[in-house]
Structure 1
Amino acid sequence: MNNKTLSILSYITIIGWIVAFVKSKDLTPKSDLVSYHLKQGFGIFLVSLVINIALSIVVTIVPALYFLSYVGYVILILWIFGIINAVNEQKKPIPVIGKIFEDKFGFID
């Protein structure tokens, strides 16, 4: 797989991320592009996991706050931005939350 494919795959579910992570270890010259998108993809996965768990607890306790479930659409839009950046082979952070993950997750490098 080439760098562009691995970058895109790093956003497609956690299974796609694992495949991209394992395949990126096999690349002889390490790709900064793939590492960058692996970090961004893992970061957005963690954010969506935490937000979804928190929102399901909040909505279970206070059903009147069901409108907060629309936050999931915001995460979907951010995820699409990440895929667009990977398709264009750009190392741009995901809006709002992307800068947080640029220097995190040292195990990916």
Structure 2
Amino acid sequence: MNNKTLSILSYVTIIGWIVAFVQSKDASPKSDLVTYHLKQGFGIFLFSLVVNILLSVVVSIVPSLYFLSYIGYVIFILWIFGIINAANEQKKPIPVIGQLFEGKFGFIN
């Protein structure tokens, strides 16, 4: 697979991320683009996991806060931005939360 495909695949579920991670480890010249999007994809996955768990707990305790579940749509839109950046082969962070993941996840290098 080429770098663009691996970059896009790093955002498509955790299975797609694992496939892109394994394929990028086997590549002889390491691609900075793929590594960057692997970090961004893993970061947004962890962020959405934590937010969904917290929202589930909060909404189960206080059901009148059900409207907070719309935060999931915001995360989905941020995920789409990540895919668009990967498709355009840009090393650009996901808006709002992407800079949190830069320089993190050392195991991806």
- Whether TM-score is above 0.5 comes out as yes
Query: Size of the alignment, in residue pairs?
Result: 109
TM-score, L = length of structure 1: 0.99
Give the gaps of 5 or more residues in structure 1. Answer: none
- CA deviation digits over 1:25-77, x for unaligned, max 9? 01100000000000000000000000000000000000000000000000000
Give the aligned partner of residue 45 of structure 2. Answer: 45
Distance 2:55 2:30 in 1: 38
Distance 2:51 2:40 in 1: 16
TM-score, L = length of structure 2: 0.99
Distance 1:102 1:55 in 2: 25
Distance 1:64 1:99 in 2: 33
Give the aligned partner of residue 26 of structure 1. Answer: 26
Q: What SS is found at the alignment partner of 2:5? A: helix
Distance 2:100 2:69 in 1: 23
- Percent sequence identity over matched residues? 83
Task: State the Cα RMSD in Å.
Answer: 0.3
